[in-house]
Amino acid sequence: MENSNTTITVIGAGLTGPLVSVYLAQHGFSVDLFERRPDIRNTNIPAGRSINLALSRRGLYALENIGLGDAIKKMVIPMKGRMIHRKDSSLDFQPYGKDESEVIYSISRAELNRVLLSKAEAMETVSIRFNAKCLGADLDRQTVTIEKNGHAEEIEFQFLIGADGAGSSVRESMEKSGMVQFDFEPLGHGYKELAIPQNDSGDFALESNVLHIWPRKSFMLIALPNLDKSFTCTLFLPQSGNPSFESLKEAPDILEWFSVEFPDAIPLIPNLSDDWNANPVGNLGTVRCSPWQANEHSILIGDAAHAIVPFFGQGMNAAFEDCTVLNTLFEKGNNIESACKEFSEYRKSDADAIADMALENYIEMRDKVADPEYLNLRKIEKILESEFSEEFIPRYSMVSFHRIPYSEVQRKGNIQKQIIEAVSRASGDEPIDLTLAKKLIAEKL
Ligand SMILES: Cc1cc2nc3c(=O)[nH]c(=O)nc-3n(C[C@H](O)[C@H](O)[C@H](O)COP(=O)(O)OP(=O)(O)OC[C@H]3O[C@@H](n4cnc5c(N)ncnc54)[C@H](O)[C@@H]3O)c2cc1C
């Protein structure tokens, strides 16, 4: 199929759908993009649904590539590290990178979605239909059923991309037809959003250029800054047991629990009870499916293919990197069929790797960041990074500040962990043994 004679049907105009549509249009395709919700540019966002996100190198790269770099830089707040809030209200700052050029960025999900929609809409060959819900796809007959204004219509497609998120209807159709295998692994923990407004002087109520974490072993609270000088807090907590979203229902219990667990956060969240009652508990889990392709003319992308838990701040970044990978395959001269086939084969191991690392990072964030043993290993990691900067890049940095494939990051990260532990054991309370470190790095990395 010639690109200019081909229309790609994309389901879902969240974060990934508009971005992939722009890339497709740049390669000459026409794109019909269907979104079940109204146009977010004309609507208010319901409270309590992941208001801000951490954007890092992979996501930024994909956005820069479609000319949105400058627009995005005006929309973000750099976060240079974690600010740990201990139970006694003392603070501990842990930088993310080797210097202040290595930061991650807090960005509003809604604003990013708006900018992406406008960029996609400005492409001559992209048309977006809102309030248009995909009810399912017939992959053999190459049709999708779209419901609009209460009417369901069957529409033929030449090529279909499911960018319709973790609960993807396209993936469900692929699974029902026996073409893909799907597994959802629930985390058992959910999340609820709460708000820290500006302080009385109209300023940020907390240090603004960091990601705040209140780690409490089996649960945690985090806060990311917003451009209007508020913070969005997210409480991650088990769904059942004690404490849990099930056990904490009544306002007095919630306030009492917060005053014990997060004493310094209490005065910052004036509407705690109201937010708690108004905002839903979101579910978290990992979507694994294989393959991401059905027949020769449909694929899944973004969360539809590989939703992950949010603890590495990589779900959107990975989804945007999917678009970069597809774009690179087109640039190499692939047609839509071969690009998508290669994409789903090549990218799967990277998606699996970041899914695993995101699960591991929950334990790191909620438990280990306040643990002296962990802090000692991180200290060694920083020393190795500064002494052997060519060979040794900490795993967090490889994920957040580089575009090294996730599967490679996971492989190298495991080896580096062994090196750090071996150096720690050998050095004891003495300064670290750099000769041993050099030898291990040369042998193993
Ligand atoms: C609490 C939380 C915090 C997160 N924090 C981060 C972070 O800091 N950094 C990061 O990189 N990632 C983060 N993520 C992950 C990130 O939100 C997702 O990876 C990202 O939104 C995936 O984009 P997507 O376009 O694939 O899916 P979505 O953003 O879910 O978009 C899917 C779109 O498809 C539409 N749709 C769904 N079904 C249909 C249908 N049947 N017909 C038509 N349209 C349909 C939806 O309305 C939606 O607009 C977080 C996730 C959560 C839950």
DSSP 50: -
Contact (CB, 8 A) for 180 and 168: no
Instruction: Write down the pTM of the prediction.
Output: 0.97
Give CA 383 to chain center in angstroms.
29
52 phi, psi to nearest 5 deg: -130, 160
Across 303-326, average pLDDT = 98
Distance 13 CA to ligand 1 centre (A): 9
> Ligand 1 pocket check: which of 60, 164, 299 to mutate, most ligand atoms within 8 Å of Cβ?
164
- The helix/strand/coil state of 260 is helix
How close is the Cα of 183 to the center of ligand 1, in Å? 18
pLDDT at 50: 57
Query: Given a cut of 90, is residue 1 above it in pLDDT?
Result: no
Of 33, 39, 40, 53, the one to substitute when testing ligand 1's pocket (max ligand atoms within 8 A of C-beta) is: 53
- The class level of CATH for 3-78+106-184+285-361 reads alpha beta
- Helix ranges restricted to H, 150-306: 169-176, 251-261, 272-278, 303-306
What number is the average pLDDT over the span 305-334? Answer: 98
Reported as a single tens digit per residue, the pLDDT across 354-388 is: 999 999 999 988 888 888 999 999 999 999 999 99
Under the banding of pLDDT at 50, 70 and 90, the label for residue 45 is: low
Mutate which of 316, 357, 400 for ligand 1? The one with the most ligand atoms within 8 Å of its CB, which is 316
Alpha-carbon Rg for the chain, nearest whole angstrom, is: 23
What's the rounded mean pLDDT across residues 97-104?
95
Q: Please report the beta strands in 202-313, taking only residues with DSSP state E, as ranges in sequence order.
A: 211-215, 220-225, 231-238, 282-290, 293-294, 298-300
CA of 251 to the centre of ligand 1 (A): 30
Given pLDDT bands bounded at 50, 70 and 90, which one contains residue 304?
very high
Q: What is the mean pLDDT of the chain?
A: 96
Handedness of CA 366, 371, 373, 377 (dihedral sign): positive
Q: Where are the alpha helices (DSSP H) in 336-371?
A: 336-366
Residue to mutate, 20, 33, 36, 301, ligand 1, most ligand atoms under 8 Å from C-beta: 36
Ligand 1 centroid – CA 201 distance (Å): 35
Q: Are strands 298-300 and 159-162 parallel, antiparallel or unpaired?
A: parallel
Over residues 417-427, the pLDDT tens digits come to 999 999 999 98
> What does the pLDDT read at residue 159?
97
Average pLDDT value for residue range 4-26: 97
- Give residue 266 CA to ligand 1 midpoint distance, Å: 30
Res. 327: pLDDT tops 90: yes
pLDDT-based confidence at 44, cuts 50/70/90? confident
pLDDT at 184: 98
| Confidence band of 429 (pLDDT split at 50, 70, 90) | confident
High-pLDDT (> 90) share of the chain, % = 92
46 has pLDDT over 80: no
Pocket (CB within 6 angstroms of ligand 1): 11-17, 34-37, 50, 53-54, 133-134, 163-165, 169, 191, 234, 282, 302-304, 310, 313-317, 319
Please state which of the ranges 172-186, 199-213, 239-253, 360-374 shows the lowest mean pLDDT.
360-374
Work out the number of other CB atoms within 10 angstroms of the CB of residue 385.
17
Taking every pair of C-alpha atoms in the chain, what is the biggest distance, in angstroms? 73
CA 37 to chain centre: 21
What residue ranges do the domains of the chain occupy? 3-78+106-184+285-361, 187-283, 371-444
Atom of ligand 1 nearest to the CA of 317: 11
- The ligand 1 atom nearest the CA atom of 169: 41
For atom 23 of ligand 1, which residue has the closest CA? 15
Q: Name which residue leads in pLDDT, 44 or 372.
A: 372
Q: Looking at 40-44, 83-87, 383-387, which range is the least confident one?
A: 40-44
251 has pLDDT over 90: no
- Does the pLDDT of residue 131 top 70, yes or no? yes
Residue 186, pLDDT > 90, answer: yes
pLDDT at residue 49 tops 60: no
